[in-house]
Amino acid sequence: MNPIKVGICGLGTVGGGTLNVLRDNVEVISARAQASLQVVHVGARRDNPDCDLANIRVSRDIFEVAHDPEVEILVELIGGTSVARELVEAAIVSGKHVVTANKALIAVHGNEIFALAEKHGVEVRYEAAIAGGIPIVKALREGLAGNRIEWLAGIINGTGNFILTEMRDKGREFSDVLAEAQALGYAEADPTFDVEGIDAAHKLVILASLAFGIPLKFDAVYTEGITELTTQDVGYALELGYIIKHLGIAKQHAEGVELRVHPTLIPDHLLLSDVDGVKNAVLVEGSAVGPTLYYGAGAGAQPTASAVVADLVDLARNFGVEQSNRVPALGIAQSSLRDLPIIPMANIETPWYLRMEVADKPGVLSRVASIFSEQGISIEALIQKAPAEGQTLVSLIVLTNKAPQGSVDTAVGGIEALDAISGKVTRIRVEALDG
């Protein structure tokens, strides 16, 4: 059994986990890969005390791994986009296959990287870039290859899901839970990518490209975070039979594709509504198979390493296989991708949850209803809460039927201009996730 020589760049949580999984599960991995995967070179700024680096060359300059003629597969686990892109492209030009867990790199520069890999006859694998140990890339690229993917919706950021779960179950405030998430290591010191939806947008654009056969279009993703959500809205959603989740949603229509990340009310009976804590899940609707749900650990050393090693096994199986017989990075050859238009958010129709603080006096309700009617928006349910003792404002909660965002924007502008309305109107989209 000839060994396949592997170089790992980055020896942090995922890099260390990958090295240890390769060693701990060597027999089963070798049997499945039909080859021995041997780590011969590690590039890292510092050693990882949890890793045994005996008989492995260690370099502080990661580019030494990319240029090492002994290395046949380079594993990029350093993160970021600038240096990581240089590293990956150097490895590709040197004729090495690449495995990465870097969702930002693929989302932002994947089109160029995949084209370069195709030119040099090597492969780039990235299962670990999305949803940790959940094999969603392989499912979309291979398992559902016989389907036209209609839509997908995913909880694809564990930090945001942990925060919303705590707000729902314990009535805690966003800032309080965020601080705990940082203390537990779920959120970074700068949590912007997680709580503003950027991390989820990186993952969504890759999923959409796999699902619909389109180029990666990260700049086209509508992104909205969870920082403005309140326990008040989480509680009202529960009263109405909904759970608030931060979702990445992609849908394919005759006129184009929807790409959006935002808080969403979903019915509380859905399996997706039961995905709590730091877990991830992706719901996919295929034309032949119907709905399928993929659930599991969305991050962590072992789950993510599991996905990295799975890609290494796939590459090992492909050694000696002609490029034309390999599965393309996005499931379709670069030349066959369809550049479908992205539908503007103003044209996307969903039901809406709206909450406003209104003066407790006659005529307000009818004026609000009239503004909705003027924009062609029908109301499905309306709840007016009793005023708290000594208060002159009450919460008015409105559930609408489907309406385009453009019409809702106009209606909300008119409502917020009323003297009887205090502050801004809270708006959250609603999804039944049934098509």
pLDDT tens figures, 137-146: 999 999 999 9
Question: Per the confidence metrics, is the pTM higher than 0.85?
Answer: yes
Identify the residue whose tokens are 């009202």: 236
Verify that 271 and 353 share a domain, yes or no: no
The chain-wide mean pLDDT, for the chain, equals 95
- Asked if 291 and 305 sit in the same domain, the reply is no
Inside any domain, residue 110: yes
- Which residues 6+ apart lie within 8 Å of 108 measured at CB? 81, 202, 216, 218
- 382: buried, middle or exposed (CB in 10 Å: 19+, 13-18, 0-12)? middle
pLDDT surpasses 90 at 2:
no
DSSP secondary structure code for residue 141 in this structure: I
CATH number, domain with residue 30: 3.40.50.720
Give the mean model confidence (pLDDT) for residues 303-312: 96
- For residue 341, being part of any structural domain is answered with no
Mean pLDDT, rounded, for 245-274: 97
> Which of the listed residues 336, 360, 386 is the one where a domain comes to its end?
336
> What is residue 194's three-state secondary structure?
helix
Query: What is the enclosing helix (H) or strand (E) of 380?
Result: strand 379-384
Identify whether residues 171 and 318 lie together within a single domain: no
* Co-location of 250 and 287 in the same domain: yes
Q: Same domain for 87 and 18? A: yes
Query: Is residue 243 a contact partner of residue 268, using CB atoms and an 8 Å limit?
Result: yes
Do 69 and 57 lie in one domain? The reply is yes
Share above pLDDT 70 across residues of the chain, in percent, rounded to a whole number: 100
pLDDT confidence bin for 388, thresholds 50/70/90: confident
89, 194: one domain: no
Q: In this model, does residue 435 exceed pLDDT 70?
A: no
Tell me the C-alpha distance between 151 and 249, whole Å. 7
SS3 of 357-391: EEECCCCHHHHHHHHHHHCCCCEEEEEECCCCCCC
Q: How many folded domains does the chain comprise? A: 3
pLDDT tens sequence across 320-368: 888 888 999 999 998 899 999 999 999 999 999 999 999 988 889 999 9
What's the DSSP call for residue 214?
-
For residue 46, give its domain range: 3-133+301-336
Which range, of 186-195, 214-223, 381-390, averages the lowest pLDDT? Answer: 381-390
Tens digits of per-residue pLDDT, 55-78?
999 999 999 999 999 999 999 999
Number of H helices, E strands in the chain: 14, 18
pLDDT at 392 over 90: no
Which CATH number fits the domain that encloses residue 384?
A: 3.30.70.260
pLDDT per residue as tens digits for the range 26-52: 999 999 999 999 999 999 999 999 999
pLDDT, position 1: 64
Q: What is the CATH number of the domain that holds 194?
A: 3.30.360.10
pLDDT tens digits for 191-212?
999 999 999 999 999 999 999 9
What digits encode the pLDDT tens for the residues 268-300? 999 999 999 999 999 999 999 999 999 999 988
Residues 217 and 315 in one domain: no
- Among 288, 314, 336, the domain-final residue is 336
Q: Is residue 435 part of a domain?
A: no
Residues 281 and 165 in one domain: yes
**Under 8 Å between Cβ of 238 and 268:** yes
Sign of CA dihedral 409, 413, 416, 420: negative
Q: What is the pLDDT of residues 113-126, one digit of tens each?
A: 999 999 999 999 99
- Residues annotated as part of the active site: 203
Distance CA 364, CA 57 (A): 73
Non-local CB neighbours of 352 within 8 Å, separated by 6+ positions: 398, 399, 400, 403, 408, 427, 428, 429, 430
Identify the CA nearest to 211 among candidates 148, 126, 293: 148
Type of residue found at 79: G
Instruction: Judge if 83 and 71 occupy the same domain.
Output: yes
Answer whether residue 76 is part of any domain. Answer: yes
Q: Do 88 and 152 fall within a single domain?
A: no
261 and 202 in a common domain? yes
What are 227's two structure tokens?
Answer: 């920082």
Which run of H or of E encompasses 205?
Answer: helix 198-212
